[in-house]
Amino acid sequence: MTSNISRRGFLGTGAGAAALSVTGLRPAHAAFPERGVTVVVPYTAGGGSDVSARLLARDIEPILGHPVTVENRSGGGGWIGWGSLAASKPDGYTIGYVNAPSIFAGYLDKSQGGARKENLESFTPLINHVVDYNLWAVKNDSKYKTVQDVIEDGKKRPGVITFTGGGYGTDDHIALLGIEAATGGKFSIVHFRGTSEGKTAALGGHIDIMAVNVSEVAEDIKAGQIRGLGVMSPTRSKFMPNVPTFREQGFDQVWAVSRGIAGPAGLPKDVEAALIAALDKAIGLPEHRSKAEALSLDPSPIKGDAYRKFLKDNEQATKKLMNW
């Protein structure tokens, strides 16, 4: 790589180069990035994580000035993707989408036997992107009309009602376990590699209820293709104002997934700062918020050390809740 000094003709060969070496001077390096960046999404295409990651990739690309490619690496409750991210070279050219609380189960839940060696310290948290609340939805011809209907049936017929699950330890799964513990209802959770697979199974009549996120079904609900039973947000979602909250129906349940961006541990500080600045700029663009909201996503940026603390607090709360 040619330095600024050499382009100006000040760096020669032989004695001149040796003199620079003796005085400790080094050729200047080009600012990050010098080439394209890959964003790892640990779930299949078409789900909420994939959709929001691709939106962010499109808007950060002109800011970085290089191509930004999304790669879906699904499986293992997200850890096929997160494992590859943690193992990637810490140079900023491979970053990934991090879902909390979904990421925590892989290393906190020792009962699974194959608990991951990686943990939160295996990553460099950069910025939170969106918060996406959980909800229950059904086919229009379902006998279930309210959350109460489902929970009461889950008490009468424990383990009979089937729910889609996004994988072991995902936000959908943890929310269901939390609701079971709080209400006494017992359900059968069928895990899929991604939301699109679970939705297909539910619409085909193979699964009773979809446990999903707002962004994943808001348009289906607006179009009248499925019916929302309840959303797990503090107040009604602006993306589906006709769907009551769990709280309105007598169940104090607030659950969501946060989706953000991280790199592997050990990112150089200048690269970390450059990525945070570019991501923050993209998320703050009015057109990005407009496009995100059109997809029923709510941008909620939390940067750097504050994002690390947010994830750590979430990790500890999940550990306590799940007795991990």
| Same domain flag for 261 and 127 | yes
What pLDDT does residue 279 have?
Answer: 98
| Same domain flag for 224 and 161 | yes
**At 313, which CATH number?**
3.40.190.150
| Same domain flag for 127 and 263 | yes
Residue 124's DSSP bridge partners are: 263
- With 0-12 CB in 10 A as exposed, 13-18 as middle and 19+ as buried, what is 254? middle
The distance in angstroms from the start CA to the end CA of the chain is 50
In a domain, 27, yes or no: no
| Same domain flag for 200 and 164 | yes
Contacts 24+ apart (CB under 8 A), 114-119: 116/79, 116/83, 118/79, 118/82, 118/83, 118/86
**Residues of the domain holding 177:** 133-249
What pLDDT does residue 195 have?
Answer: 78
**DSSP assignment letter at 247:** G
What pLDDT does residue 16 have?
Answer: 35
Residue 280's contacts (CB-CB under 8 Å, 6 or more residues apart) are 127, 301, 303
In a domain, 158, yes or no: yes
What pLDDT does residue 192 have?
Answer: 83
Cα separation, 167 vs 79, in Å, equals: 10
In a domain, 24, yes or no: no
Structure tokens at 211: 């446990």
Q: Are 130 and 299 in contact (CB under 8 A)?
A: yes
What pLDDT does residue 114 have?
Answer: 58
Of 219, 267, 307, the residue nearest 86 (C-alpha): 267
Of 53, 126, 138, the residue nearest 92 (C-alpha): 126
Query: Between the CA of residue 154 and those of 120, 157, 233, what are the distances in Å?
Result: 35, 5, 22
Residue 257's DSSP bridge partners are: 132
In a domain, 42, yes or no: yes
Instruction: Tell me the chain's radius of gyration from C-alpha atoms.
Output: 23
| Same domain flag for 47 and 73 | yes
| Same domain flag for 207 and 100 | no
| Same domain flag for 145 and 241 | yes
Q: Are 125 and 96 in contact (CB under 8 A)?
A: no
Structural domains counted in the chain: 2
What pLDDT does residue 168 have?
Answer: 76
What pLDDT does residue 313 have?
Answer: 92
End-of-domain residue from the set 222, 249, 276? 249
| Same domain flag for 80 and 228 | no
CB 103: neighbour CB atoms within 10 A? 29
**At 173, which CATH number?**
3.40.190.10
Per-residue confidence of the chain (324 residues) as pLDDT tens digits?
433 333 333 233 333 333 333 334 434 456 899 999 999 999 889 888 899 999 999 999 999 999 999 999 998 888 999 999 999 999 999 999 999 998 998 899 877 655 789 999 999 999 999 999 999 999 999 999 999 999 999 999 999 999 998 777 788 888 998 899 999 999 999 988 777 888 889 989 999 999 999 998 999 999 999 999 999 999 999 999 999 999 999 999 999 999 999 999 999 999 999 999 999 999 999 999 999 999 999 999 999 999 999 999 999 988 887 788
What pLDDT does residue 205 have?
Answer: 92
| Same domain flag for 140 and 103 | no
What pLDDT does residue 245 have?
Answer: 98
In a domain, 235, yes or no: yes
In a domain, 70, yes or no: yes
What pLDDT does residue 240 have?
Answer: 95
What pLDDT does residue 269 have?
Answer: 97
Of 47, 36, 111, 38, the residue nearest 78 (C-alpha): 47
End-of-domain residue from the set 224, 249, 274? 249
In a domain, 16, yes or no: no
| Same domain flag for 170 and 306 | no
What pLDDT does residue 112 have?
Answer: 64
End-of-domain residue from the set 249, 268, 296? 249
Q: Are 97 and 259 in contact (CB under 8 A)?
A: yes
DSSP state letters, 77-134: GGHHHHHHHHHS-SSSSEEEEEEETGGGHHHH-GGGSS--S--GGGEEEEEEEEEEEE
What pLDDT does residue 105 have?
Answer: 87
| Same domain flag for 309 and 282 | yes
| Same domain flag for 173 and 204 | yes
In a domain, 174, yes or no: yes
